[in-house]
Homo-oligomer: A and B are copies of this chain.
Amino acid sequence: MTTTEAGPRVIAVTANLLRKNAETAALNREAFRNQGILAVNVLSSPGSGKTALLQATLASLGCRAAVIVGDLATDNDARRLHGAGAAVVQLTTGTLCHLEAEMIQRACAELDLGGVRILFIENVGNLVCPASYDLGEDLRVVLMSVTEGEDKPLKYPKTFKTANVVLISKTDLASVVGFDRAAALENIRRIAPQAVILELSARSGTGMDSWLAFLEARRTSRHDGP
């Protein structure tokens, strides 16, 4: 629904950008494999609990991890994640609404990845644009908090269609907001039948064990051991 006049040129430029991004993402993916790193791209709306999830995850993870955090502005999230035992790099994108593979490539050059087994990438809070940009990740994890409503998969289909994991977050608030769990699960399964569905609360800790076990299984099956 861009204007007819500008449409084709925009589409061509976007296609070029996405092709270049895919090339860089393939390089990232190869580098992660060679280093034995499981790369996890975490997507969601603003305020769905990505940083809180990573804080709780880093606190209990059984292996060395690193985090790349993307935001338009501030290093709030990197500061929240510092001290949790992982190397953290904050990317600020200015007005750009998503992370791109080349930013990850550059951020990795700044990180000490020696011994790192999982790299978490916290994308810009946005349920639309990040879905189009492969970063070279092994797992794409989409958070959907119980406070956002059950219909988010239907309304933001591309993000959910490309998810390997859908995490229902903030489950400790489910009853107070009247969350309809059956409807949410049905919507996720309809749009993202490929995705593993996990439910958790980083605040209460409920469901964190399953999430950590899932990560550990993916990491060890990828690398055949620790």
Interface of A toward B, CB cutoff 8 Å = 1-3, 5-6, 9-10, 13, 16-17, 20, 45-47, 71-74, 76, 91, 93-97, 100, 102-103, 124-129, 132, 145, 147-149, 151-152, 154-158, 170, 173, 176-177
User: Which 6 A-B pairs rank lowest in CB-CB distance, beginning with the nearest?
Assistant: A47-B148, A97-B128, A147-B147, A45-B46, A45-B45, A74-B154
Q: Which of B72, B100, B151 contacts A155 (CB 8 A)?
A: B72
Contact status A148-B46, CB under 8 Å? yes
Contact status B124-A128, CB under 8 Å? yes
Count of chain copies: 2
With A1-B100, A17-B3, A132-B95 in contact, do A71 and B155 touch (Cβ < 8 Å)? Answer: yes
Q: Which of B9, B96, B173 contacts A2 (CB 8 A)?
A: B96
A32 to B71, CA, bound (A): 36
Contact status A157-B72, CB under 8 Å? yes
Chain A contact residues, majority secondary structure: loop
With A147-B47, A156-B46 in contact, do A129 and B127 touch (Cβ < 8 Å)? Answer: no
Chain B positions within 8 Å of A9 at CB level? 13
Chain B positions within 8 Å of A93 at CB level? 1
A-B contact pairs, 5 of them (CB 8 A): A45-B125, A46-B156, A47-B145, A47-B152, A125-B156
Closest B residue to A47 using CB positions: B148
Chain B positions within 8 Å of A148 at CB level? 46-47
Closest B residue to A91 using CB positions: B1
Chain B positions within 8 Å of A147 at CB level? 47, 145, 147, 170, 173
Chain B positions within 8 Å of A177 at CB level? 173
What is the distance, in angstroms, from A150's C-beta to the closest C-beta of chain B? Answer: 10
Contact status B125-A125, CB under 8 Å? no
What is the distance, in angstroms, from A18's C-beta to the closest C-beta of chain B? Answer: 10
Contact status B20-A76, CB under 8 Å? no
A13 to B152, CA, bound (A): 31
Closest B residue to A127 using CB positions: B46
